[in-house]
Amino acid sequence: MIKPIAKVILAFNGNAKKSQIAAGFAWGILLGLIPTGNFFFIILFLVSFFFRHNHWTKIFAITILKLLSPLLIYGIDGFGGLILHIKVLEPFFTTLYNMPFIPFTGFNNTLVAGGLVLGVILFVPSFFLFWWLVTLYRNHLAEKIRNSKTLQSIAKSPLLKFIGKAFQNS
């Protein structure tokens, strides 16, 4: 578990482009809100590899959202219920449900619908938020953290040496 965190820190401190790091977080948020075994999760996860982004930040964001899912599940479920009960869209959903393969996607599940729509809505704002956070980190915080005594003690610990190296390799 320590090595993947070190890879994310290395991306923040290394030569990775801010846009690629931000795109990784945006993909991670989109995928983290959709239930893992669902058809949409699998397809979007595979499609994400065709785009240029930092895969470690994507995996990190998915992991964080999956760990927080017990807290988020009721909101996503309620949002999905609102989406699926929009009167104007009910004929469209009925048509989709009567198609041969579409019902197997689970689009009519409130968690799937809520997670997918919420992830799509949050994709662009999360990209710009994380792009701004990476810029803020690199311009103002990276040097302070690199020179902190806490980091120096972490770098000496054999168990956490990966994290110390990630901060030092910038």
Rounded distance, CA 26 to CA 17, Å?
A: 14
Q: Give the pLDDT score at 103.
A: 85
Q: Tell me if 52 sits within 8 A of 23, measured CB to CB.
A: yes
User: What pLDDT tens digit does each residue of the chain (170 aa) get?
Assistant: 567 777 787 788 777 889 999 999 999 999 999 999 899 999 999 999 999 999 999 999 999 999 999 999 999 999 999 999 999 999 999 998 898 888 888 888 999 999 999 999 999 999 999 999 999 988 888 788 777 777 677 667 766 666 656 665 55
CA 91 vs CA 72, 96, 97, 147, 157: distances in Å: 29, 9, 10, 61, 61
List pLDDT tens digits, range 112-132.
Answer: 999 999 999 999 999 999 999
Q: Give the pLDDT score at 150.
A: 76
Q: What pTM was computed for the model?
A: 0.84
Q: Give the pLDDT score at 27.
A: 96
